[in-house]
Structure 1
């Protein structure tokens, strides 16, 4: 499969690097287009074999799949300038807020289109990527899921859930980082150096996530394992509840919807 990525910014560049580190797409089959030649050269230095160009049309000419990694307000302009074979090529858009219906109106109502919502951890191959599709076969859906599973965890969902799940994933990662920041400050107050505290907490967050992802379990079950009667953990958890921690998380998620 030949892939063209339009846009070499933070997300487009991260996807290009992720593809290059994966096993499904060969580097020689990746082309990245962007007006910033320096960004393109950085990608080529990261993974030899990637083709770079400042001309979007050159990138998509022979591509099977086009990944559109540009700002939402540029989507219509850029797609309108491209000559796309809507029967042969597949379009993947990561532009926030642009629906499958809107994309189909710009290109073709018959084109196979995917709408993706990754998060910033894609740069570490640890993204939670949400995928919705239009006019796609089961095989095409599975192929896209497989590709983005190599950059973290990908999940196919109905487009109607995109807004709610974006709050959980793209916005949610910021809430996790907010916890890490706050916990680090607590560590500093208790006499731990900031960098050391931050590493301890980040690893603890990673460990908690691995417990959920790698086992058929539930947060409440794992919490019970570390809360002994009269122990220090239950005292801290009760303080969180008294301060409205759970309610604050739920309200934050709903506010991001």
Structure 2
């Protein structure tokens, strides 16, 4: 199976690297197109078997899956200049905020289209990737899920849930990073070296996430395990709530979904 990736920016390059590191697609069957060479050269340095080109159409011609990894405001322009085989090719767009109804106007009513929203952790193969499908078969949905599951965790959701889910995952990763930054600042104020504080907080976040994902448990259950009566943790938890911590997170995510 051959894959074309249009755009070698941060997301396009991360997807290319993730596919190479996976087992489903051979590097020689991946072609990345970009108008300039610097990022393409970087990908060739990563894996010499990767195919690169300055022509979007050359990349698309033999591909069964076409991944559009360009900014949302460039999607229509890129699509308009390409010739697809809508009966054979699957189009995957990573551009946020563009509904299937618009892709139908730019392509064909029978086009098999996926909207895919990874987050920046895809560069470490730890993305939480959202996938919605249009005109695709169950087998095609399974294929795209498997591809992106090699780069973290992927979930298929209805298009109507995309905005809310994007706020929680694609935008939400920034809020987690903001928590790490705040914890780091607190550590420095209390006398820790910056790099030590950063590692301590980051590993604690990673550990908390692992507890939830591996045990399919609930945050409240895990919080109860470390909040002994009269202890230090419950004092900190109550201070967070007095200062509107939960409310701030909820408001931020709701704001990001609009």
Per-residue deviation, 1:48: 2.0
Per-residue deviation, 1:105: 1.4
1:1-257 correspondence runs (5 A): 1-257=1-257
Residue by residue, what CA displacement relative to the aligned partner does 1:200-255 show, whole Å, maximum 9, x if unpaired?
Answer: 10000000001111112100000011111111111110111111111111111111
CA distance in structure 1 between the aligned counterparts of 2:161 and 2:114, rounded to whole angstroms: 14
Per-residue deviation, 1:180: 0.4
Q: TM-score, normalised by structure 2?
A: 0.98
**Structure 1 gap segments, 5+ residues each:** none
Per-residue deviation, 1:167: 0.6
Residue by residue, what CA displacement relative to the aligned partner does 1:177-208 show, whole Å, maximum 9, x if unpaired?
Answer: 01000110000000000111000100000000
Question: Alpha carbon RMSD of aligned pairs, Å?
Answer: 0.7
CA distance in structure 1 between the aligned counterparts of 2:229 and 2:193, rounded to whole angstroms: 31
CA distance in structure 2 between the aligned counterparts of 1:171 and 1:32, rounded to whole angstroms: 26
| SS of residue in 1 equivalent to 2:83 | coil
Per-residue deviation, 1:104: 1.8
Per-residue deviation, 1:36: 1.5
CA distance in structure 2 between the aligned counterparts of 1:53 and 1:247, rounded to whole angstroms: 48
Residue by residue, what CA displacement relative to the aligned partner does 1:80-109 show, whole Å, maximum 9, x if unpaired?
Answer: 111100001000001111111211211111
| SS of residue in 2 equivalent to 1:132 | strand
Per-residue deviation, 1:158: 0.2
| SS of residue in 2 equivalent to 1:128 | strand
Residue by residue, what CA displacement relative to the aligned partner does 1:110-167 show, whole Å, maximum 9, x if unpaired?
Answer: 0110001111111111111000000011111011011101101000000000001111
CA distance in structure 1 between the aligned counterparts of 2:84 and 2:253, rounded to whole angstroms: 38
| SS of residue in 2 equivalent to 1:49 | coil
Per-residue deviation, 1:29: 0.6
Q: TM-score, normalised by structure 1?
A: 0.99
| SS of residue in 2 equivalent to 1:97 | coil
**Structure 2 gap segments, 5+ residues each:** none
CA distance in structure 2 between the aligned counterparts of 1:166 and 1:44, rounded to whole angstroms: 31
